[in-house]
Amino acid sequence: MAPQPKMPRSWRAETKPHKFCPGCGHGIILKFLGEAIDELEIQDRVIFGCDIGCSLLSWDFFNLDSVQTHHGRTIPVMTGIKRARPELICIAYMGDGGGYSIGTQHMVSAAARNEKITAILANNTQYAMTGGQMAPTTLPGQKTETSPYGREPELTGYPLQGPEMVSAITPDGAYVARSSIGNLRQLKGALKKALENQINGNGFSFVEALSSCPTNWRTNAKDTWSFIENEMSKHFKVGEIKAPGTGQGEAG
């Protein structure tokens, strides 16, 4: 048997291989989330919440107490748990449809209240589970099932800048970053900092991870990477946007 990469301790081996499509970014994001949880030794007090859309396939992914919620409603469920039991570390995991469209009011309000939870959002520029419709994050000109001739910004707007928005409305103490499955070191660092920020009780923590969807993008491996690295990067700037004590992201 060929050697297998080591699974994070917080992964649930019984539910592997996972349920995501080949080439999907979710598995990569969840791998580094698992490693971050292991390194911080918080497996006994993390509550993992996942949204609807492809992210729901992570409902039994971890050896963590987990709740699968509704479309866009993971942030309020995790907020409810955190408010009732502040000692727990609550993670809301979702896609761009859940976080930036159907659940935007929860994202905005949790950010504005500086809820001490960690939201992690996989941005793959479209609704994947429902079959590849246009999302708030779809790139200009990008073809989807509901923008078959390409997204026209004049009619449907430009890709939503989630972390920038969250950064603009969060008070001090928030941690906000955009990462990418194309930059693993930075992705893992951001996830770990986002969890540490909650552990330290500083405020809302948010990481958007640029992710892949070869199934709906209809791309091969090479074109999938190219889309993330060359197309998405034109619209979504990877990096830390706001962190407590750094002076980043403060209004000028």
Binding residues for other proteins, rule: CB under 8 A, are 9-10, 12, 43-45, 47, 52, 56, 59-60, 62-70, 73, 76-85, 88, 105-106, 108-109
Which residue's CB is nearer to other proteins, number 106 or number 242? 106
Rounded to a whole number of angstroms, the minimum distance from the CB of residue 60 to other proteins is 5
Least Å distance, CB 68 to other proteins, is 4
User: How many other β-carbons are positioned within 10 Å of the β-carbon of residue 152?
Assistant: 11
Rounded Cα distance, 220 and 247, in Å: 41
Indicate the residue among 78 and 134 with the shorter CB distance to other proteins. 78
Comparison of 109 and 219: residue with beta carbon closer to other proteins: 109
Reading the block at residue 73, the tokens are: 């409603």
The DSSP bridge partners found for residue 185 are: none
* Cα-based torsion angle of the residue sequence 230, 234, 239, 243 in order, rounded to the nearest 10 degrees: -160
State the nearest-atom distance from the C-beta of 82 to other proteins, in Å: 8
Cβ distance 62 to 15 under 8 Å?
Answer: no
Cβ distance to other proteins smaller for residue 159 or 162:
162
Token couple for 85: 């039991």
Distances (CA, A) of 222 to 66, 122, 139, 194, 228: 34, 20, 19, 31, 10
Of 52, 42, 53, 96, nearest in space to 73 by CA: 52
Check: CB of residue 61 under 8 Å from CB of residue 91: no
Tell me the closest approach of the beta carbon of residue 87 to other proteins, in angstroms.
8
Rounded to the nearest whole angstrom, what is the least distance from the CB of residue 89 to other proteins in the complex? 10
- Our CB check for other proteins shows the closer of 101 and 109 to be 109
Q: Work out the burial of residue 139: count CB atoms within 10 Å of its CB; fewer than 13 is exposed, 13-18 middle, 19 or more buried.
A: buried
Smallest gap from Cβ 110 to other proteins, in A, equals: 8
Of 87 and 154, CB closest to other proteins: 87
The smaller minimum CB distance to other proteins, of residues 81 and 181, is found at: 81
Shortest separation between residue 199's beta carbon and other proteins, angstroms:
15
The neighbouring-strand residues paired with 84 are none
The number of beta carbons lying within 10 Å of the beta carbon of residue 123 is: 27
